[in-house]
Amino acid sequence: MSKHETIIGLEVHAQLKTSSKMFCGCANNFGDPPNTNICPVCTGQPGTLPVINKKAIELAIKTALATNCKINERSVFARKNYFYPDLPKDFQISQFDLPLAEHGFLEIEVDGNKKRIGITRIHLEEDAGKLVHKGADRIMGSDYSLADYNRAATPLMEIVSEPDIRTPEEAKAYMEKLAHLLEYIGVCDAKMEEGSLRCDANISIRPVGQKEFGTKTEIKNMNSFKAVMKALKAEELRHREVIDEGGTIIQETRFYSEETEKTKGMRTKEFSHDYRYFPEPDLVPIAPTKEWIEEIRKTVGELPDKKENRFIKDYGISETDAFFIVSNSKMATFLEETTKSYNNPKAIANWLVGEITACLKESKMTFDNIALSPNQLAEMLALIDNGVLSRKVAKEIVLPELLKGSNSIQGIIKEKGLTQISDEGELVSIAQDIIRNNPKQVEQFKSGKEAVLMFFVGQVMKATKGRANPDAVQKILKEALKK
């Protein structure tokens, strides 16, 4: 194997969470029937004029602030000219020499090592429409295609990294970090599998110590974080093999295939571009005022890294749990909301990471549309502390009901008769029954095998359907067994 190092840069496209499109009032909605969100502007009818969506600019500035970018005092939209059936105007409105923001960075961590990845630029553009290929399950071999322009001209933000990434693992870490951040600050859904976040990668290798970059290839069609890593691993290996065999890498665009786990070159002719960028004459420049930027800064809020540290320091939550909770912004908010009416963040965190996550997984639900409210969780935990509910009953009966959408804990308790048995007399008589029916185990206990006590505790819990307090049961059993 040659002594080469790998150079990777990523271009990420993020769909912005606006209500309307980038330059017209059509709805920015995924999944609507074909061509129901189109108008003369986004389909490029003669004489129509685009108008910039203010929210899209705000979301891009928000991203720039969260990624330590410098926001340009003046930025300009430009036309990128090319023909493709998903592009009704025959040009894409994008940004070229004056993007919205530049010179930022993101900090990633791989195997415990922190590293800063530079962000070259963030710019805004419009997305293309969607093509449905007929006669084959992909573009190759299809007879014809159908164009749906609902997605055409929806706002798209491009985030370009510096060629600072050195391994496919770092590329994956960068993508995950960026996705998490975008989802967190509420600018993008950031789901690679659904296409709301997309990634193209530039990769090249060079002998260690050489300053100049080697010839790069561009990899497309990576539809998950894992695919980003796998595709780059495959391409890295291909570069090494070609060079080791004395060959040369050709600069080209290559597509990654999930099935073969390899990249494949496209015939270069189809992708030889001459975009003839020029300033978009129908849109005047964007020059964000200081006041506007400061207003947007207020909406950025606490970033994930900072929140995670606070959870660890102030709440006493373990690093693993804090990372898990913060990786879902809804869960992090849920935790903070719950602490307002139940002052034991650690206990809340345990339930979120443990029982609640397990229960959601079991019933194939996600935290994103959880039916349980922070107040309900607080109420349930307080009822456990007060001895009204046993942990077991809360976990196995009350929680699943709440996650299914029941809205009254008291109602569930009443309906199912779940109140913890607090009458000691009742527990004593149950314990005595069990002792009477299990003479063999009583013998073992008396001969010194104290572990058998747990057998009796289990039997009592079973007899009470979990409605007994295990600590109280142990105490009662110990006394009863001494007799």
Partner 1 sequence: MEINIEHVAHLARLGLSDEEKKTFSKQLGNILQYAENLNKLDISDISPTSHAILMENVMRDDKVEKCQDIESIMKNGPEIEENMFKVPRIME
CB closer to partner 1 out of 277 and 367: 277
CB closer to partner 1 out of 266 and 454: 266
CB closer to partner 1 out of 40 and 458: 40
Token code pair at residue 374: 């922070």
> What is the closest distance, in whole angstroms, from the C-beta atom of residue 50 to partner 1 in the complex?
10
> What is the closest distance, in whole angstroms, from the C-beta atom of residue 129 to partner 1 in the complex?
9
> What is the closest distance, in whole angstroms, from the C-beta atom of residue 319 to partner 1 in the complex?
39
Cβ neighbours, 10 Å, residue 157: 22
> What is the closest distance, in whole angstroms, from the C-beta atom of residue 29 to partner 1 in the complex?
9
Name residues whose C-beta falls within 8 Å of residue 280's C-beta, 6 or more positions apart in sequence.
50, 76, 77, 78, 79, 93
CB closer to partner 1 out of 39 and 300: 39
Which of 175, 178, 90 minimizes the C-alpha distance to 126? Answer: 90
CA 423 to chain centre: 48
- Cβ atoms of residues 384 and 427 within 8 Å: no
72 DSSP 8-state letter:
P
Cβ burial of 313 (10 Å; 0-12, 13-18, 19+) is exposed
CB closer to partner 1 out of 297 and 346: 297
> What is the closest distance, in whole angstroms, from the C-beta atom of residue 274 to partner 1 in the complex?
6
First CA to last CA distance, the chain = 77
CB closer to partner 1 out of 273 and 340: 273
Name residues whose C-beta falls within 8 Å of residue 15's C-beta, 6 or more positions apart in sequence.
127, 154, 155, 156, 188, 189, 195, 196, 197
> What is the closest distance, in whole angstroms, from the C-beta atom of residue 127 to partner 1 in the complex?
16
> What is the closest distance, in whole angstroms, from the C-beta atom of residue 228 to partner 1 in the complex?
25
CB closer to partner 1 out of 249 and 283: 283
The residue ranges that bind partner 1 (CB under 8 A) are 18-20, 25-27, 33-40, 43, 45, 51-57, 74, 76, 81, 83-85, 98, 131-133, 139-140, 142-149, 270, 274, 276, 279, 281, 283-288
The rounded distance, in Å, linking the Cα atoms of 401 and 408 is 10
